[in-house]
Amino acid sequence: MSMAFPALTAVHTKSARRDATTIFFTFIFPLVFLLLFGTIFRGQAVEASGRSYIEYIAPGVMTWGIANAAVFSIAFALMQWRESDLLRIVRMTPASTRSVLSSKLTVTMGIAAIQAVLFVGVAMLPFFGLRPASSAWQAIPLLFMGVVAFYAVGAIIGAFANTAEAVAAISNVIMVPMAFLSGSFFPIDMMPSFLKSIAHALPLYYLNDGVGDAFTGSATAASFATNMGVLTAFALVFGVIAVKVFRWSND
CB-based contact 75:158 (threshold 8 Å): yes
* pLDDT band for position 156 (cuts 50, 70, 90): very high
- Distance separating alpha carbons of residues 127 and 117, to the nearest angstrom: 17
- The per-residue DSSP string of 189-210 comes to GGS-HHHHHHHTTSHHHHHHHH
Packing angle, helices 97-123 and 29-40, rounded to 10: 30
pLDDT tens digits, residue range 71-110? 999 999 899 888 888 788 877 777 777 788 888 899 999 9
- The CA–CA distances, whole Å, from 248 to 74, 80, 98, 150 equal 14, 11, 12, 21
Amino acid making up residue 49: S
Q: Using N-to-C axis directions, what is the helix angle for 139-160 and 203-216, rounded to 10°?
A: 160
Query: What CA–CA distance (Å, rounded) separates 148 from 146?
Result: 5
Query: pLDDT per residue over 15-63, tens digit each?
Result: 777 777 778 888 888 888 888 888 887 777 776 666 778 888 888 899 9
Instruction: Give the tens place of pLDDT for each residue, 192-251.
Output: 888 888 989 999 999 999 999 999 888 899 999 999 999 999 999 999 999 899 888 877
**What pLDDT does residue 47 have?**
67
Determine the longest span between alpha carbons in the chain, in angstroms.
60
Q: Look at residues 143, 158, 20, 146 and name the one whose alpha carbon lies nearest to residue 100.
A: 158
**Predicted local confidence at residue 145, as pLDDT:** 97
Beta-carbon contacts of residue 179 (< 8 Å; ≥ 6 apart) = 64, 68, 185, 204
pTM: 0.91
Mean pLDDT, the chain, rounded, equals 87
pLDDT digits (tens, 9 = 90+) for 116-138: 999 999 989 888 888 888 889 99
Question: What pLDDT shows up at residue 26?
Answer: 85
